[in-house]
Amino acid sequence: MEKTHPKILIIGETFRKNGGGGITLINLFKQFPKENVAIITNDIVNSDPDLCDNYYQIGYDEKQFIWPLNQFQTKFKSGPYIFDRKKKAESNSSGTNESSIIKSTFKKITKKFELDNVLISRPKLSKTLINWISDFKPDTIYCQPTSLFNMQLTYSIHVKLGYEYSIHFMDNNIVSLNKRIINLGLRKEFQKILSNAKSLIAISPAMANGFEKKFNRPFLSFHNPIETEKWKPFVKLNYDYTEVFRVLFTGRLDFPVENSVRSFCSIISRLNQEKETFKLDIYSLDQDTPLSKEVQQFKGVTLFKPVAYEQIPMLLSKYDALLLPLDFSPKSLEYAKYSISTKTSEYMVSGTPIVVFAPQETALSRYAREKKWGYIIDNDDFGFVVNKLTDLANDINIRMNIGQLAVKVALENHDANVIRKEFIKTIVN
């Protein structure tokens, strides 16, 4: 008999509102009873206890670098985590500050050269972790990996305890990493993990098609679902603007969008040489980075701290256009060619015209072109972008057609009431 709410163990990503994967996770599981969800993560600090209060923090008992490098590893405590709502979650690191500089430097080096997957030994299933999983008794495992380690841990639990698992890829990073470490002996293990998965899921149809060909396994696709009834009251209806054309960007100011954001800021500044006729407002967590400081030097560009996620619908509809960028570099294309940003469906349902500033080969640009929900700028030539943006500002019919069609596509393709049911069937049945 099919369960209305099966018990699901989530590994990797966590319920958090400061990242695309976390927001997608929240929207996929939002109607689940808290007692039917448990999460294994190493990101306790950002985890939200409102949707789940049964967390296990991955620490030194499960995740260690090979000797002697483990001597420089920051040692995080392992075990079930109980949230104290009176204070912010802590990462439970242990040890003294004597070697903090060395450990910090070591962490930066391993991150820069993507050595985590090479320097970490196989996941260790501690007795505490096994007992915690056995007490929860999940019906299945859902892994949204933020690293290869998450996939290895999922597979180890599958082998030890027999639970089936599904893997949901958000971008091409882990797959491209696997390609780069082929000579280090992990490629066969990566293939084995995929081969034994109950379900393989991509973030976009383009990723599903690409991965099916690459790995010879069927992939389904699920993107960030939206609760359409909550967005409908804020859908944009008026496409007029007065003297200044206002563009909005929300999100991080880092890879793989940093170069395109910088270029767009420069373009806004150029358009404002004689008179301020364009504005770009950026709402980002990144307030003290080199790029965040740089963008504030451009005329017509303003940086704000992010608003609460619940305020996003009202914010989006106040603007004349929304910026959805991806970098044009080969490195960015390798990472994000199959990705569609979490915010895409939210931008679409707002009814505010979306400027898709991304290479034409990307899944984002292809989706916008096929369904005609975005104003596509697929060339980063300065003059070309200036002309395209000016044309958009001068033509209310283009803005209205794009905005209204985007709402229609969002309601058809991203309705949470439909997506959640299909998603649970995929990972459980």
Report the range of poorest mean pLDDT among 119-128, 238-247, 250-259, 303-312: 119-128
Q: Do 173 and 143 meet the contact criterion of CB atoms below 8 Å apart?
A: no
Range 16-31 average pLDDT: 93
Cα first-last separation, the chain:
10
State if pTM tops 0.95: no
Confidence of residue 372 (pLDDT cuts 50, 70, 90): very high
In this prediction, what percent of the chain has a pLDDT beyond 70?
86
Peptide bond before residue 313 is cis, with ω within 30 degrees of 0 = no
Confidence of residue 171 (pLDDT cuts 50, 70, 90): confident
Residue-level pLDDT at 234? 97
Residues 84-125 have pLDDT tens digits of 755 555 555 544 444 566 556 656 655 555 556 555 667 999
DSSP letter string, 141-161:
EEEE-SSHHHHHHHHHHHHHH
Torsion-angle region of 92 (φ positive above 0: left; ψ -120 to 50: alpha; else: beta): left
Domains and CATH numbers, the chain: 8-225+417-428 (3.40.50.2000), 229-413 (3.40.50.2000)
Residue-level pLDDT at 112? 57
Report the range of poorest mean pLDDT among 212-216, 260-264, 361-365, 420-424: 212-216
The candidate with the shortest Cα–Cα distance to 60, out of 43, 44, 77, 72, is 77
Confidence of residue 182 (pLDDT cuts 50, 70, 90): very low
Residue-level pLDDT at 95? 45
| Whether residue 165 has pLDDT greater than 60 | yes
Residue-level pLDDT at 423? 96
Return mean pLDDT, the chain: 89
Q: Do 328 and 259 meet the contact criterion of CB atoms below 8 Å apart?
A: yes
Residue-level pLDDT at 148? 86
